Amino acid sequence: MIYLDYQATTPIAPEVAAAMRPWVSDHFANPHSPSRWGREAAAAIEVARGDVTKALGLQGGRLAFTGSATEALNWALKGVAEQATPGRNRIITLATEHAAVLDTCEWLAGQGIDLTILPVGKDGIVDLDDLSRELDERTLLVAAMLVNNEIGVLQPVSEIAQMAHAAGALMLCDAVQAFGRIDIPQGPDLVAISAHKIHGPKGIGALWIRTGVDPAPLIHGGGQEQGLRSGTLSPALCVGFGAAAKLARERATRDYDHVGGLWRAAIQTLGKGWTINGSTSHRYCGNLNIRRAGLDGARLIADLRDVAFSMGSACASGSGRSSHVLKAIGLDHRAARSSIRLGFGRYTTVNELTDACRRIAAAAHAQEKLDA
């Protein structure tokens, strides 16, 4: 199997699995208990928190672990919305955000939040003039992701944060697909990340919160995580997240350069007839979303059982609906159904990627012949 679905999830790094192992066997103590074992587990969690925070590289805030990035995004949006006033109750977000943001915003709109969803251009990037027109003293928060999970394009997060601040609003950044892959710009007040996208375990994410920003808790109970997020933390998951973040930081340049080489090799091997969805310059190169006239993407995926790739986000696949991101960049249903996403990274070799691309190109040609 050639794994090309790095946006859905990433393979666990061997170093991460090794770091987690003692915490899923012998070291089972509750990290919130005062026993020596409990304190050892709590200390391991704090080391992990330090490693994740260091890898994020953001100044002046604290990091709270959550069960996923979805939870972190729900917490940020609902926790800030709870503090809305009649004069400041607008959330602005983008049409290409992840469902964890869009669906939460729609839910908040049902609770009385004034929601504005900005369009993006054909390149997938928001026009800052559109944002400027919508931003005013009624804006509570602007939510924008750094790297898009479906098409890999980058939003100008630093500029968006500056503009939000100038209007007295907060800025939330979904950095799930960026963290551990590219630098996170300074500026956002709230940043959501997830371990399983950086070769860490599933079931743990985090919300970074700028000092002075106080989203109301989403989950109530025992007051763990500095009273911000209740629930017993898993030392194994926290340690795994920390190890993955440390590794990503140590390997940052190597991984980034490797991904650039993979991108070039994939495009060269696929050959003519493919169009890249989204900006080719403002992007993370580990995400290659391409379309081909007349292609049936779902059939291609079914035909190539030994290559794992997708048509877009894992959450939306199987729903039969075409991608809201591809729609937002102007693709009709047909063009969206002719698109596939190849996601690669640290453990993808050039040989396996070019092998997969040759098979994809051959299967696409075979479809064309059959349909002619």
Q: Which residue has the tokens 């060269």?
A: 268
Stretch of 28-36, 62-70, 129-137, 254-262 contacting ligand PLP, by CB under 6 A: 62-70
Does residue 346 sit in helix, strand or coil? coil
Give the closest residue to 287 by CA, choosing from 254, 313, 318: 313
CB atoms within 10 A of CB 268: 10
Least separation in angstroms between CB 210 and ligand PLP = 19
Q: Which of 69, 198, 285, 290 is the binder for ligand PLP (CB under 6 A)?
A: 69
Backbone phi and psi for residue 63, each to the nearest 5 degrees, phi listed first: -120, 125
Check residue 194 for interaction with ligand PLP (CB under 6 A): yes
Cβ-contact 149, 177 below 8 angstroms: yes
Fill in the per-residue mask, 76 to 115: x = in contact with ligand PLP (CB under 6 A), - = not in contact: ----------------------x-x---------------
Indicate the residue among 49 and 341 with the shorter CB distance to ligand PLP. Answer: 341
Strand order through the sheet with 205-210: 61-66, 205-210, 190-194, 170-174, 139-145, 90-94, 114-118
DSSP classification of residue 283: B
Residues in region 239-298 near ligand PLP by CB under 6 A: none
SS3 content of the chain, % helix, strand, coil (to 5): 40, 15, 40
Q: Which of 177, 234, 310, 348 is the binder for ligand PLP (CB under 6 A)?
A: 177
Number of residues that bind ligand PLP (CB under 6 A): 12
Residues 271, 259: Cα–Cα separation, whole Å? 19
Stretch of 85-93, 134-142, 171-179, 245-253 contacting ligand PLP, by CB under 6 A: 171-179
Q: Any residues with CB less than 8 A from the CB of 230 and at least 6 apart, and which?
A: 217, 219, 220, 221, 222, 223, 224
Check residue 120 for interaction with ligand PLP (CB under 6 A): no
Cβ-contact 106, 132 below 8 angstroms: no
Check residue 182 for interaction with ligand PLP (CB under 6 A): no
Least separation in angstroms between CB 45 and ligand PLP = 18
Least separation in angstroms between CB 97 and ligand PLP = 8
Check residue 238 for interaction with ligand PLP (CB under 6 A): no
Helices 69-81 and 99-110: angle between axes, nearest 10 degrees: 30
Q: Which residues are catalytic?
A: 315
Least separation in angstroms between CB 181 and ligand PLP = 12
Q: Which of 16, 23, 52, 70 is the binder for ligand PLP (CB under 6 A)?
A: 70
Interacting residues toward ligand PLP by CB under 6 A: 68-70, 98, 100, 145, 149, 174, 176-177, 194, 205
